[in-house]
A and B are shown apart, each in its own frame.
Chain A
């Protein structure tokens, strides 16, 4: 034992100043210590072996630390104000032909563009929010079973990664209240990233994008909602579209609907093929109240739906996981 201790400190000291510390893994002292084991009494052999191993491990980590130190010392400072380094040539940008925007960004730009032309302002949604914006402000009472459908993540502090872009609704309604009371309308879309605690496969993701809209006025109606949504999709697909609905249940709207369009010919649709695009409905009075808007005086409609599916249908993308994969093989298809 004592021989390990005596060798240890000396060896460590030499490693600490060595320019080639890895050599110490083959130090003759190690071999000596190893051969020593035959002279150790049987009942102490195990303990000796153990401390020898510990010593070797510490030596290895000290060698690695010294190597990192050497690598670090080898780093040469540069003149950060220069256009390039001494004896170097002018840096070049990569070829413009390989650059690409992410298809989700491109599509969101297009969605925002159509809605702004229709008179809606647009905001990106938050990526970390609270229970109030996720549920409370949207007429989901505490402990309500409808909360289960959203498979929300939670942080230690109880914050919630939004599971729908409707987390923006209370903010949008509150900030638009003055405009509404001055005789105007609230017309706004929120878009962004949402999160669900789901297993990932070709058609399920824990991270995806949604786009959400609200419209509030003195005389908003369900007929206007259907008209607005149809107008959006007709502009998006550049053709007349048949629409239909299905009753849906979302605590923040009453009535609530699922909105479908007949699959457009431009993406290979045939008559009778229907696509479920989004959920929608007349904003529940409790949701207006939560934003201090008097539901006796004003009414509104809201809708929200996923973005990836529209893109997948448009390009024929087969796997949802490609979007966040960061694979150039995928990204450069959009160059």
Chain B
């Protein structure tokens, strides 16, 4: 929203600099996105009189003019009368006109700040022309192809154009989202009131804007009051209408002052009636609508019988912009008789539009349900100045003063006559909010120290009535335009804001000395992150939403994903069921970028429909740790063992005891879908399955373009965190005696699991009275052999003595015996 500072000044004195003003508005009213110095655009533009005008010889459209600028512009060639010669091609140029002259060295306002065009003195067809006479378009006011702009005769030659039309202005580009609850500030008057308030000044509201302040002019003739009915008071709190006749549409536009003010805030001139309604809307925030009275009557057999009602299923309406829309029961329509003639609050209908033949208008001033209008706005894509204001919820009490203001202006600007009484459907009187609040509540909530007088004056300045109930209690009565005031907090906000929140001294809350720690889950998650990072892996964060193709590539069922229905892109169509596929999706791109080997991990959430809902009726949300390791070239160990090695390292750092069992089919597990079960293991801790580690299915490998050496895991990070938190830290003291190591090479059948062999050894070692540790050294098999040789290194440590060879040999023999019995091992 654009706010003109000069426009504000019409309603309140502003005697501080623009910088101080914008600083104050920014800190106490609303964010200003940009301040535009409009005066700069019109620098050098001078009002002049066309004294002589004669056709240029040899041209069919150019005229040579002599203009009088009162001699104010320096450095231009002048004749003996001190007039300046300008060649002009506009069809309407003639002697006697008052015009805007762009002298040499001035910049054409239309080009200001863009590709600037600076004028000079140059010859046109051999005749010297000093600068140019400007059209409204060249002055960047509005599109006008008729010719140069014709100014009022009473303007003086030599006067600055900017000063004459108050274009020596600053425009404030306001971020109006934060004024959503303040319909009053969408009008210049309301905004000016706030500006007065934040400057600590009393704002004087025009008497006409106050309740009961309207004086209607005497009506002419005996036209009956138009019949208006609000069929459903939920849709509209008030509907007023009057009829104005003898509207002189030959007067194409409202006075230039109105036009130039509208133009600077982006509203183009249209016709006297429309310009006046726009002007009233801009100053008050209350949109008006004008119907062509005769066309309106015509749709209902010559009768006016206006109804404000809901749209009906299947009903159609052609709007001003020629669009035919289908109405919904959420739309509010204005109908005459049974025929819809306007989409209330949004746009008028084509069939009742005013045009150059219009002589009589019916002027509407009404308020509509903002929720319905918001709906209408979205459904029909209408984002006009009017609906923007209506959707903030303009109050019912505002319709009368604005309607009266428009009638007054139209009588002046379009020589219109009021020919009817005011029709007024107003089913429920708007109530003003009375809010009782104490001085101490205000100061307690804000942490401030306001006195009663400060509090009272702050409210009086912006139009509240204040009753002092007791020395420390007031009842603040909100003016009708403050529809946002309901509760003491609203008054507290006013006091804090208008006096500047920044004047409140920041303090810290008192607290006890209880220590607060991050949650167990957060702590463990940080530890997981540290561990994997230390092991050379890179943490990634990827989107929670995925393309359906990604789910398919990972072998997951689309129906098992929560689906986003209003996504802007197919990439964000589904909630992911597992974090891992997002990582697989990154492997190929990173390899292509020149990273030959890497490990990626992500700690994040996933949702699977088949998990169902929790007690609060929300989808079960699970936390996972997903990991993938990939290499362009094969490594010494299969990818499976690399991924498992990472997981074991993590388990050890977290103090979690993990086992690996051959993976099994769990049709419900979305996590397991991409894994090749013959080369994957279920990750088990105690009774619980934490997740899965392994290589991927051939189909997954090819659809994600994964290199041969790729594996990964996905485990429940919340279960892992719990296990880690429950883990006891184990420490065994150092022994004072040396340790002894022995390597044993077992030959076992190729299909004997490593774990079985290790268990056979461990069973014996656990029964010894020395500390032991088993480490694998080598797993070897000659080609096509039915056997494999597994070499284990066992470390023996006694806490009571130095072990001798015989003792150790005895231990080794026991281990060998156990392996022979349980896995049929031979000792090599």
Q: Which residues of A does B touch, CB under 8 Å?
A: 68, 71-72, 75-102, 104-105, 109, 112-113, 116-117, 119-124, 126-130, 143-146, 148-149, 153-157, 159, 161, 184-185, 187, 193, 195, 197-199, 206-207, 215, 217, 219-224, 226-228, 230-231, 243-249, 251, 254-258, 282, 284-285, 299, 323-324, 326-329, 331-332, 335
Interface residues of B in 534-581 (CB under 8 A from A): 534-545, 562-568, 572, 575
For B482-509 the 0/1 string (1 means CB < 8 A from A) is: 0000010110110011000110111111
Shortest beta-carbon distance, B628 to chain A, in Å? 11
B432 within 8 A of A: no
Residues from chain B with Cβ under 8 Å of A130 in the complex: 617-618
B779 touches A156 (CB 8 A): no
Complex contacts, A126 vs chain B, CB 8 Å: 618, 621
Q: Is the CB of A71 within 8 A of B511?
A: no
A327 to B758 Cα, complex, angstroms: 41
Selecting from B111-119, B177-185, B232-240, B739-747, the interface stretch reads B177-185
Q: Does B678 contact A (CB under 8 A)?
A: yes
Question: Interface centre among A94, A116, A224, A257, by most B CB within 10 Å?
Answer: A94
Contact A328 B590 (CB under 8 A): yes
Structural contact, A90 and B544, CB atoms closer than 8 A: no
Q: Decide yes or no: A93 and B649 within 8 Å by CB, A119-B511, A249-B181 being known contacts.
A: yes
**What residues on A are CB-neighbors of B600 within 8 Å?**
326
Closest to A89 in B: B636
In this assembly, does B679 line the interface, its C-beta being within 8 Å of a C-beta of chain A? yes
Residues of B within 8 A of A144 (CB): 371
B598 within 8 A of A: yes
Over the window 433-468 of chain B, the binary record of Cβ atoms lying under 8 Å from chain A Cβ atoms (1 yes, 0 no) is: 000000000001111100000000000000000000
**Is A326's CB under 8 angstroms from B542's CB?**
yes
CA A147 to CA B448, docked complex, whole Å: 32
Is the beta-carbon distance between B29 and A247 smaller than 8 angstroms? yes
Instruction: Confirm or deny: B662 has a beta carbon within 8 angstroms of a beta carbon on chain A.
Output: yes
Q: Which residue of A lies closest to B500 (CB)?
A: A245
Verify A127–B605 contact, CB threshold 8 A.
yes
Are B446 and A326 in contact, CB atoms less than 8 angstroms apart?
no
> Which of B244-252, B270-278, B525-533 lies at the interface?
B525-533
Roughly how many angstroms separate A77 CA and B662 CA in the complex, as a whole number?
Answer: 9
How far, in angstroms, from A284 to B445 measured CA to CA in the complex? 12
Within 8 Å by CB of B539, from A72, A78, A100, A258, lies A100
Asked whether A324 and B660 contact (CB < 8 A) given A91-B636, A96-B534, A285-B489, the answer is no
Instruction: Establish whether residues A161 and B564, one from each chain, have CB atoms under 8 Å apart when the complex forms.
Output: yes
Complex formed: what's the CA distance from A199 to B567 in Å?
10
Return the contact of B506 from the options A71, A227, A249 (Cβ within 8 A): A227
- Chain B residues contacting A155 (CB-CB under 8 Å) are 562-565, 575
* Interface pair A80/B640, CB less than 8 Å apart: yes
A113, B518: Cβ atoms under 8 Å?
Answer: yes
Most B Cβ at <10 Å: residue of A91, A157, A248: A91
| B586 at the binding interface (Cβ < 8 Å) | yes
* Residue contact A255 to B780, C-beta cutoff 8 Å: no
Q: Known A-B contacts: A82-B755, A85-B641, A93-B649. Give 17 more (CB < 8 A).
A: A75-B679, A81-B756, A85-B640, A87-B779, A89-B637, A91-B641, A99-B538, A105-B541, A112-B522, A145-B180, A215-B509, A222-B504, A243-B506, A255-B501, A258-B178, A327-B589, A328-B593
**B678 surroundings in chain A (CB, below 8 A):** 75-78
Q: Can you list 13 A-B pairs, Cβ within 8 angstroms, ordered by A?
A: A77-B678, A83-B645, A87-B779, A105-B529, A121-B519, A128-B607, A130-B618, A155-B562, A159-B562, A197-B568, A245-B27, A247-B29, A328-B538
Give residues of chain B (509-527) contacting chain A, Cβ–Cβ below 8 Å. Answer: 509, 511-512, 514, 516-519, 521-522, 526
| A88-B636, A159-B619, A207-B543 given; A83·B776 CB < 8 A | yes
Partner pick for A122 among B371, B447, B511, B522, CB 8 A cutoff: B522
Smallest CB–CB gap between A331 and chain B, Å? 5
Judging by beta carbons under 8 Å apart, are A122 and B519 in contact? Answer: yes
Residue of B nearest to A72 (CB): B698
Asked if A223 and B636 sit within 8 Å, CB to CB, the answer is no
Contacts of B629 in A (CB 8 A): 94
Q: Which of A68, A82, A119, A257 contacts B699 (CB 8 A)?
A: A68
> Given contacts A79-B754, A91-B645, A324-B543, are A99 and B533 in contact (CB under 8 A)?
yes
Tell me which of B178, B529, B562, B676 contacts A247 (CB under 8 A): B178
CB pair A127 B565 closer than 8 Å: no
Say yes or no for B105: interface residue by CB 8 A criterion: no
Q: Which residue of A lies closest to B534 (CB)?
A: A96
Closest chain-B Cβ to A235's Cβ sits at a distance in Å of: 12
Asked whether B518 lies within 8 Å of A122 as measured between CB atoms, the reply is yes
Chain B, residue nearest A152 (CB): B566
Shortest B282–chain A CB gap in Å is 21
* Contact B447–A223 (Cβ < 8 Å): yes
Instruction: State the majority secondary structure of interface residues on B.
Output: mixed
Of all chain A residues, the one with the shortest Cβ separation from B502 is A244
Closest 5 CB pairs of A and B: A223-B447, A94-B536, A81-B755, A89-B636, A221-B447
Complex alpha-carbon distance, A103 and B586, angstroms: 18
CB distance from A62 to the nearest CB of B (A): 16
Known: A207-B543, A285-B487. A159 touches B618 (CB 8 A): yes
- B539 near A331 with CB under 8 A, answer yes
Asked if B374 is at the interface of the complex by the 8 Å CB criterion, the answer is yes
Task: State in angstroms the CA–CA spacing of A199 and B572 once bound together.
Answer: 11
Chain B contacts with A in 567-626, Cβ cutoff 8 A: 567-568, 572, 575, 582-583, 585-586, 589-590, 593, 595, 597-600, 603, 605, 607, 617-619, 621
Query: A217: which B residues are within 8 A, CB to CB?
Result: 509
Judging by beta carbons under 8 Å apart, are B502 and A124 in contact? no
Query: In the complex, what residues of B have CB within 8 A of residue A117's CB?
Result: 516
Kindly list chain B residues whose C-beta atoms are within 8 Å of the C-beta of A109: 526
Contact of A258 among B31, B535, B607, B619 (CB under 8 A): B31
A88 touches B567 (CB 8 A): no
| Interface flag for B102 (CB, 8 Å) | no
Residue of B nearest to A295 (CB): B489
B169 at the interface (CB under 8 A from A): no
A93 touches B646 (CB 8 A): yes
In the complex formed, the residue of B with least CB distance to A102 is B539
B753 within 8 A of A: yes
Question: What are the residues of chain B within 8 A of A116 when measuring CB–CB?
Answer: 516-518
CA gap between A156 and B535 in the complex, in Å: 41
Residue of B nearest to A155 (CB): B562
Cross-chain contact A123 with B497 (CB below 8 angstroms): no
- Chain A contacts for B575, CB-based, 8 A: 128, 155, 161
Cross-chain contact A246 with B781 (CB below 8 angstroms): no
State how many angstroms separate the Cβ of B176 from the closest Cβ of chain A: 10
Are A80 and B179 touching (Cβ within 8 A)? no
User: CB-CB < 8 A to A161: which residues of B?
Assistant: 544-545, 564, 575
Q: Return the chain B residue nearest A93 by Cβ.
A: B535
Task: Tell whether A80 pairs with B490 under 8 Å between CB atoms, given A68-B699, A332-B538.
Answer: no
Q: Does B661 sit at the interface, judged by CB under 8 A?
A: yes
Considering only residues 644-692 of chain B, those with a C-beta below 8 Å from chain A are 644-646, 649, 660-663, 676, 678-681
Measured between C-beta atoms, what is the minimum distance from B354 to chain A in Å? 30
* Given known A-B contacts A76-B678, A93-B646, A249-B181, A227 and B540 have beta carbons under 8 A apart: no
Which residue of B392, B506, B542, B641 contacts A82 across the interface (Cβ within 8 Å)?
B641
The residues of A that contact B567 with a CB separation of less than 8 Å are 153, 197
Task: Please tell me if the beta carbons of B533 and A185 are within 8 angstroms of each other in the complex.
Answer: no
Residues of B within 8 A of A68 (CB): 698-699
By a CB distance below 8 angstroms, the chain A residues around B504 are 222-223, 226
Contact of A112 among B26, B182, B496, B518 (CB under 8 A): B518
Q: Which residues of B contact A146 (CB under 8 A)?
A: 180-181
- Would you call A87 and B781 a contact (CB within 8 A)? yes
**Closest B residue to A116 using CB positions:** B516
Would A78 and B638 be within 8 Å (CB), given that A100-B533, A324-B543 are in contact? yes
Contact A128 B619 (CB under 8 A): yes
Report how far A197 CA is from B226 CA in the complex, Å.
Answer: 47
**Contact of A124 with B522 at beta-carbon distance under 8 Å, contacts A91-B635, A197-B568 already known:** yes
In the complex, chain B residues whose CB is within 8 Å of the CB of A246: 26-27, 30-31, 178
